[in-house]
Amino acid sequence: MPRTPLRELKVIVGNENVLDHPVDLATYEYDACLARQDPLAVVFVRSTEEVAAVVRVLARWGLPFVARGCGTNLSGGSLAPPGGVVIEMVHMNKVLSLDLANRRLVAQTGIFNLDISTALASYGYFYAPDPASQRACTLGGNIGENAGGPHCFRYGVTSNHVLALEVVLADGEVMWLGSKEADSPGLDLTGVFVGSEGTLGIATTAVLRLLHLPEAVKTLLVVCDSLEQGGNTVSALVAAGLAPSTLEMIDNLTINAIEDSLACGFPRDAAAVLLVEVEGLREEVLAVGEQVTTLCRQVGVREIRVARDESERAALWRGRKGAFAALSRLAPNYLVADGTVPRTQLPVALRKIKQVAESHGLPVANVFHAGDGNLHPILLFDSRDPAQHERVVAACRDILAVCTELGGTISGEHGIGLEKVGAMPLVFTESELRAQHLVKEAFDPGGLANPGKLLPSTSELAAGQSDQSLGRRDRAEATTGFAQKGALHA
Amino acid sequence: MPDRQGYTSGEWASSPTAEQQQVQPDHPSADQTAPPVLRPTDENQVAALLASASADGTALAIRGGGTKAGWGNPLRRLDHILSTEELRGFSHADADNLTLSAAAGTTIAEARAQAEAMGRVLPLDPRFPSRATVGGVVATADQGARSAGYGGVRDVVLGVRAVLADGSVVKFGGLTMKNVAGYDMTKLFVGSFGVLGVITEVTFRLLPRPQSQCLVILPLPSYPEAKTTIARILDSYLQPLALEVVSRGSGETPYLLAGFAGHPAAVARSVREVKDIHPAPPEAILSDSEAEALYEALAATGPAGTVAGTVGTRASLPLSRVIDLVEAVERLAAQHGLSLAFRGNAARGMVDLFLGLKEQKASTSAAGPSGATSADGPSGATSTDGPFATTPADPAFAGTRAAHLAACLSALRATAVAWGGSLVVTQRAPLLPPSFDAWGDPPSAVIIMRRLKERFDPQGVLNPGRFVGGI
């Protein structure tokens, strides 16, 4: 029987853990961005050893791969490379050890983000990064994207909470980066690996830093008369040195979408609301809560509501975290831009984004991490209309340009993926892109780990291209993928 | 209230002004003659120097204030010292966005003063802030007592500008709290010890200035009590800015310093709770400027540069092992007849140890025992009183004592490694055998580190040999 990569993979993980039928593969041809790409195969893995064995086979056959959790990626980073294999991590979802005395948890990376904090709650600890998709997204995906979340305003992003990683490199070699300790000798490879979007290898196990749950939490809903007032309030709160744990903004369009689908108690007539949360010692929460209230009144907001109990608080968060899903009621498709700006520039950024959306004739919703200056303008459209599709891509590019002009950047937490790879020259010079290629080469000289994502290719650099189209290669690459697959199956 | 000097003027602690009196740093180098010092005044000059060094294979030692010159291994080769001290000032300061960009040669003290003037706090607490530079502190990721609240250097740096070995200028990260465009190259430069490029500017995130702060000083009559108190503070709702075990020397038991900052009511509550947790009453409670002064004095503990007779090391450990290591080192120091000072950061799992030769007090030669002279500082620098000044006069005797020191350090390193940690040399005394690697056995990921070094600095001209695994 001739050897083929698929047969070899089946020997490693068993027939039942390799999907290669087109119907099965269809489930894996998309993530949460607009692009699509069918994989050559999907391989379910259950241990680091299996990942290493699978990757060694792929390396021998020269097949590119991507590790995938639950496909919540918003920039196309978890789509298969053309002709490549998806390594599905969701079965690697175990907590391997919990060391409360040292504030460490070791887990496999296929675990759901929310499951980590749920497992910890009864001990009085938590894992800080809490992306809105935390019910469905995996730790590995969070590591790949350096995920944030509403609470990173106070606690920082994923890279601030991941101390060490067990990784499988693209040649199948397994090694640990970092250590359980806060400081370990050598270059901070963990820091570089977090946020590398699967292009440096596959993280299979992670050592996480745990935090003690706060003693008290106060949740405020600040109702604003205009989006600009909301932006001004955020800038004022940050400038006053008040440090709430979250500072989220939700605009009118989003509020109504949330209320239509979830009925969480947001005021439908508000131009925007700020969801502000203060955490810490009782005394701190009381004092800072009052300072926030005073300052919001000075800015002239319409109303300040305080969540009276845990169920009111939970309802507000259910609304915030369900916002993207709720918006899908309004249009068949949406595109989330993910630019960041210095917090002082928020009011300007919001005004300019509105202008951009209007100039392209697109409705835009805003629900975002205002305290971090991380905008999420959501452009609503119908991808069946090619003209709308073109307009949305152009509008997104213009929005990212607005962010970079204001001193910000093109992605705060959703990653570059496929979607924004063409926009990288907006923020990086050729030298800076070349330096990043040196990192890629040091980890993955063969170029098999999620190629085509995050970095424009070296050939594009050499050609001096600064193609700023948002890297929309879906159909063309899908065709290539099919062709290659056919050849490999033969 | 006792004089705060009581907490810093032990056998091993330097006086607050001693930082300026320390022996001038020698760069760790196999070369016995003082190499010429290059002092670029702007980034373009740095770029030109690096491009030409790469072109003709000139080995460069990268230096800021020279306070950590004894950190790491002696350079394999050294032709010139590249000093960043002339790169100074602030290109960006935005109080409302809580961001500050400082040129690499700016001292930490200057950057702190700038943040202070903005009504903010620079969340860095490295050793020797009056001489240590922004670039040096970021390149070594040196963080001290207040890292319990501030986090590591990697957590407070938002962006870096650097010149790579080929002379190209790069900028990564920036003014935003979140940035996932491309690789997190900023992390690669933090703690890279100058082996990948020369940092020319750093952007920090600032913190709001706390309305009040307090330091509680608790006596630690026994280590089991210390462990219990620390564990209970860490497992409480309290959020210490610092939680540090500090030696006093002269056979006295160490003390525990618990620092808090924030709203006055929250700070007061924290102090009350710490008093409730600990079985013995506090020796002192310092607030605001007094607390600040003690932090400063702690940061000036131990010698700067290369000093005869003293080895500084930093152990990284699980939190629960900090007191265990302190106990182990006290036992080993007594066994080997060495003097000892330590600071154990119980919230970060980091212990700074200073081990030295006792007795044999003798005047040191200006040049130090290695014969190496200060590269650029005033020659004839004198050492201070105390153990740092101790120089073994008799070579045979010195050999024995040095062997004791090396044996003690090896045992400590083995202990730290067995607990999952590490021990690195932060203060290399000339009497330490050259075979004693400053970093210990490299981790398996050193393969990747070497590949990065080969790609970023193919001629091997930046701090050759100083870092982990001979990088």
**What are A77-88's pLDDT values in tens digits?**
999 999 999 999
Cα dihedral angle (A233, A238, A240, A242), rounded to 10 degrees? 110
Q: State yes or no: pLDDT of B182 exceeds 90.
A: yes
CA distance A465 to chain B (A): 17
| A331-405 under CATH 3.30.70.2740, yes or no | yes
**Residue at B201 is within a domain:** yes
Whether residues B92 and B239 share a domain: the answer is no
Closest chain A residue to the Cα of B346, Cα to Cα: A102
Q: Chain B residues with CB inside 8 Å of A99's CB?
A: 318
In this structure, the answer to whether residues B177 and B190 fall within a common structural domain is: yes
Residue A48 pLDDT greater than 60, yes or no: yes
Which of A142, A181, A212 has the most B C-beta neighbours within 10 Å, making it the best mutation to test the interface with B?
A: A181
- B65 and B149 inside one domain: yes
Query: Which of A183, A197, A235, A292 is most worth mutating to test chain B (most B CB atoms within 10 A of its CB)?
Result: A183
Distance CA A226, CA A347 (A): 11
Look at residue B446 in the predicted model and tell me its pLDDT: 98
Confidence of residue A110 (pLDDT cuts 50, 70, 90): very high
Q: Is the pLDDT of residue B370 over 60?
A: no
User: Do B234 and B144 have their domain in common?
Assistant: no
Predicted confidence (pLDDT) at residue B291 exceeds the cutoff of 60: yes
Question: B192, A238: Cβ pair inside 8 Å?
Answer: no
Region B39-52: mean pLDDT is 98
Domain end (from B299, B320, B351) = B299
Residue A103: which region, alpha, beta or left (left: phi > 0; alpha: psi -120 to 50)?
A: left
Taking CA atoms, what residue in A is nearest to B195?
Answer: A187
Bridge partner residues of A238 (DSSP): none
Query: Does the residue B421 lie in any domain?
Result: no
pLDDT for position B34: 83
Please say whether the structural domain A216-326 has been given the CATH code 3.40.50.2300.
no
Q: Band of the pLDDT at B381, cuts 50, 70, 90?
A: very low
B235 and B295 in a common domain: yes
% pLDDT > 70, chain B: 83
Residue B132's pLDDT band (cuts 50, 70, 90): very high
Residue A460: per-residue pLDDT: 76
Asked if residue B144 is part of any domain, the answer here is yes
pLDDT in tens, B315-341: 999 999 999 999 999 999 999 888 899
With contact defined as beta carbons under 8 Å apart, do A455 and A421 qualify?
Answer: yes
User: Do the domains A331-405 and A5-90 match in fold?
Assistant: no
Domain final residue, candidates B299, B329, B350 = B299
Reported as a pLDDT band with limits 50, 70 and 90, residue B250 is low
Do B252 and B181 sit in the same domain of this protein? no
Same domain, B162 and B218: no
Chain A residues inside the 8 Å CB shell of B447: 175
Residue B9 lies in a domain: no
Residues B140 and B272 in one domain: no
How much is the CA Rg of chain B, to the nearest whole Å?
22
Q: Is the pLDDT of residue B393 over 70?
A: no
Asked whether the beta carbons of residue B170 and residue A235 sit closer than 8 angstroms, the reply is: no
**Residue ending a domain, choose from B299, B316, B342:** B299
* Average of per-residue pLDDT across B405-433: 92
Average pLDDT over residues B290-297: 94
Pull the structure tokens for residue B460: 């091997």
**Do residue B122 and residue B188 come from a single domain?**
yes
Question: Which pLDDT belongs to residue B401?
Answer: 79
Q: Of 3.30.465.10, 1.10.40.30, 3.40.50.1470, 3.10.129.10, which CATH number belongs to A95-212? A: 3.30.465.10
CB spacing of A436 vs B182 below 8 angstroms: yes
Q: Is B462 in contact with B192 (CB distance < 8 Å)? A: no
| Other beta carbons within 10 Å of B64 | 28
CA distances in angstroms from A213 to A19, A112, A124, B197, B236, listed in the order given: 41, 19, 5, 40, 9
What's the farthest any 2 CA atoms get from each other in chain A? 78
Question: Å from B275 to nearest chain A CA?
Answer: 17
User: Which domain CATH number covers B238?
Assistant: 3.30.70.1710
pLDDT computed for residue A33 by the predictor = 87
**Residue B366: its pLDDT value, please?**
33
Average pLDDT of the residues in B384-409: 62
| Per-residue model confidence (pLDDT) at position B21 | 33
Residue B24 lies in a domain: no
Structurally, chain B folds into a number of domains equal to 2
Range of the domain at B219: 209-299
What pLDDT digit, counting tens, does each position of A402-454 carry?
Answer: 999 999 999 999 999 999 999 999 999 999 999 999 999 999 999 999 999 99
User: Is the pLDDT score of A478 beyond 80?
Assistant: no
Q: Tell me the pLDDT of chain B averaged across its residues.
A: 86
Q: Are A439 and B188 a contacting pair at CB < 8 A?
A: yes
Confidence of residue B376 (pLDDT cuts 50, 70, 90): very low
**Mean pLDDT, residues A345-360:** 95
Confidence of residue B99 (pLDDT cuts 50, 70, 90): very high
Six token digits for residue A302: 């319409």
Residue B303's nearest CA partner among B6, B28, B27, B23 is: B23
Q: Do B455 and A145 touch (CB under 8 A)?
A: no
What is the 8-class DSSP label of residue B251?
A: T
pLDDT value of position B394: 57
Whether B364 is covered by a domain: the verdict is no
Average per-residue pLDDT for chain A: 91
Other C-beta atoms lying within 10 Å of the C-beta of residue A282? 15
Q: Do B319 and A443 touch (CB under 8 A)?
A: no
- Give me the residues of B, 318-347, that contact A with CB < 8 A: 318-320
- Matching CATH number, A5-90, of 3.20.20.70, 3.30.43.10, 2.40.10.10, 3.30.56.10: 3.30.43.10
Candidates A102, A191, A343; nearest CB to B184: A191
Query: Which of B245, B199, B234 lies closest to B50, judged by CA?
Result: B199
Q: Percent of chain A scored above 90 by pLDDT?
A: 87
Say if residues B433 and B406 touch (Cβ distance below 8 Å): yes
What pLDDT is stored for residue B227 in this prediction? 97
| B69 and B167 part of one domain | yes
CA–CA dist A24, A18 (Å, integer): 10
Q: Is residue B385's pLDDT more than 70?
A: no
pLDDT at B400: 81
Which are the contacts of A24, defined by CB distance < 8 A and separation ≥ 6?
A42
Chain A: closest CA distance from residue B140 (Å): 10
Segment among A209-213, A345-349, A365-369, B12-16 with least mean pLDDT: B12-16
Contact call for B96 and A344, based on CB within 8 A:
yes
Closest CA to A485 of A86, A37, A44, A39: A39
Query: What is the tens place of the pLDDT at every residue in B67-80?
Result: 999 999 999 999 99
At a CB cut-off of 8 Å and minimum separation 6, what does B249 contact? B10, B11, B12, B13, B339, B340, B341
B317 part of a folded domain: no
pLDDT digits (tens, 9 = 90+) for A261-317: 999 999 999 999 999 999 999 999 999 999 999 999 999 999 999 999 999 999 999
Size of interface A-B (CB pairs under 8 A): 268
Same domain flag for B189 and B220: no
**Residue A464 pLDDT grade (very low, low, confident, very high; cuts 50, 70, 90):** low
Record: contact B318-A181, CB cut-off 8 A: yes
Q: How far apart are CA A200 and CA A177, in angstroms?
A: 12
Q: What is the CATH number of the domain that holds B60?
A: 3.30.465.10
Q: Within an 8 Å CB–CB cutoff, is residue B422 touching chain A?
A: yes
Query: What pLDDT does B430 receive?
Result: 81
Q: Are both B260 and B147 inside the same structural domain?
A: no
- What residue spans define the domains of chain A? 5-90, 95-212, 216-326, 331-405
Residue A459 confidence (pLDDT): 79
Going by pLDDT thresholds of 50, 70 and 90, the confidence category of residue A458 is: confident
**Distance in angstroms (rounded) separating the CA atoms of residues A53 and A168:** 10
Q: Is residue A467 predicted with pLDDT exceeding 60?
A: no
Residue A56 above 90 pLDDT?
Answer: yes
pTM (two decimals): 0.91
